[in-house]
């Protein structure tokens, strides 16, 4: 049975997705058993209860802990394939996904194993799921820039199948400007540049991501709304902002979905699109995020179509694939 959606479905690009954030509780337990990894959870219900967060750090603690079950190329391939199959059902036709290499290398998993498994799943995705793909390596901003530079150097030496780099993990106190050399190096290699900014960090971090790192897109960016001059700049320059509503509510950046600014941002002329971030942790995939916006914010068909088009336009796509999805 084909899972490739028919031509009637409105095509979306998923542009803000952490592969490690797609690790569903069932798969955590399956991989733990396969690899004889001891977890501090009795059963799947016990693990599910841990998926309640008070802020970004409380989520990151569980996110990094669960990665202990990822050991072999097969584990990374299984995680990635499960995501792609689910994303196809959500209406995703192109997925740009991040992986956190440092989180695995630091645990003794070789970079080669991570890349082998992820690439196996990504490279067969268009055929198997109708979802074209691109991979970004995201660097952990709460670790030193020197380590990120070492890992980027290693990735380049391996001819890793990455199209760009990102910046993620704990934002407060870790400004983009700390990673200027990393982004200079990546730019010199012709890589695309994205960074999380304005999720928990101040509007100034969005400015730094643009002016110091020279990013093509901002992941989140919702705190830019606190600075009117910055909002005007983001509108004028049409900087893509990859917004994740269920994530923002799960991590308490926004109190309730009814208060989420994404549709107001869209109507102010900002270049926003909607994505799922860490869907296994935050209550859903792209379709769940869109359904929540319809239910809680009364998203119209027109708004939904603009979100879809913005996502395709902000994607890293060959001209023929972009044209096919618009």
Q: Which residues bind ligand ES4 (CB under 6 A)?
A: 18, 21, 56, 63, 168-169, 196, 199, 247, 277-278
Residue 9 vs 170, nearer CB to ligand ES4 = 170
Helix or strand or coil: residue 195? strand
**DSSP, residue by residue, 64-132:** HHHGGG--SHHHHHHHHHHHHHHHHHTTEEEEEEEE-HHHHHTTT--HHHHHHHHHHHHHTHHHHHS-E
277 binds Zn ion (CB under 5 A): yes
Residue 196, annotated as binding a ligand: yes
Q: How far is the CB of 251 from ligand ES4 (least distance, A)?
A: 6
CB of 18 to ligand ES4, least distance (A): 4
Residue 227, marked binder: no
Nearest-5° Cα angle at 123, 289 to 243: 25
User: Which of Zn ion, ligand ES4, none interacts with 94 (beta carbon under 5 to 8 A by kind)?
Assistant: none
CB of 236 to ligand ES4, least distance (A): 27
How open is the CA angle 118-121-126, to the nearest 5 degrees?
A: 130
Q: Which is closer to Zn ion, CB of 119 or CB of 277?
A: 277
- Alpha-carbon gap, residue 136 to 190, rounded angstroms: 13
184 annotated as belonging to a binding site for a ligand: no
**Phi, psi (rounded to 5 degrees) for 35:** -105, 5
Q: Shortest approach of Zn ion to residue 43 CB, angstroms?
A: 28
Nearer to Zn ion, 14 or 277 (CB): 277
Catalytic residue list: 199
Of 164, 199, 169, the C-alpha closest to 275 is 199
Residue 21, binding choice from Zn ion, ligand ES4, none, Cβ under 5 to 8 Å by partner class:
ligand ES4
Nearest to 216 by CA among 14, 13, 15, 11: 15
**Which positions touch Zn ion (CB under 5 A)?**
277
Binding-site residues for Zn(2+)? 16, 18, 196, 277
């Amino acid at each position: 049975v084909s899972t490739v959606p028919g031509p009637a479905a409105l095509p979306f690009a998923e542009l803000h997705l952490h592969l490690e954030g797609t690790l569903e509780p069932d798969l955590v337990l399956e991989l733990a058993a396969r690899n004889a990894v001891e977890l501090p959870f009795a059963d799947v219900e016990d693990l599910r209860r841990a998926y309640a967060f008070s802020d970004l750090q409380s989520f990151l603690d569980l996110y990094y802990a669960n990665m202990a079950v990822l050991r072999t190329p097969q584990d990374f391939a299984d995680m990635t394939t499960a995501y792609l199959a689910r994303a196809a059902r959500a209406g995703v036709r192109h997925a740009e996904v991040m992986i956190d290499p440092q989180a695995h290398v630091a645990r003794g998993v070789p970079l080669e194993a991570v890349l082998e498994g992820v690439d196996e799943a990504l490279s067969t995705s268009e055929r198997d799921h109708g979802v074209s793909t691109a991979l970004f390596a995201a660097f952990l901003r709460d670790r030193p820039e020197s380590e990120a530079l070492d890992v980027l150097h290693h990735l380049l030496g391996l001819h890793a199948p990455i199209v760009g780099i990102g910046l993620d993990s704990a934002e407060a106190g870790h400004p983009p400007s700390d990673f200027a050399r990393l982004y200079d190096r990546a730019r010199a290699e012709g890589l695309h540049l994205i960074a999380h900014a304005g999720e928990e960090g101040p509007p100034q971090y969005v400015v730094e991501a643009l002016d110091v790192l020279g990013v093509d897109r901002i992941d989140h960016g919702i705190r830019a709304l606190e600075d009117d001059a910055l909002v005007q700049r983001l509108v004028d320059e049409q900087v893509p902002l990859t917004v994740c509503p269920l994530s923002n509510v799960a991590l308490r950046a926004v109190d309730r979905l009814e208060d989420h600014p994404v549709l107001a941002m869209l109507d102010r002329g900002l270049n926003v699109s909607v994505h799922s971030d860490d869907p296994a942790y935050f209550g859903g995939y792209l379709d769940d995020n869109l359904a929540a916006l319809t239910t809680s914010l009364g998203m119209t068909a027109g708004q939904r179509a603009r979100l879809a088009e913005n996502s395709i336009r902000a994607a890293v796509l060959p001209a023929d694939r972009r044209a096919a999805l618009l």
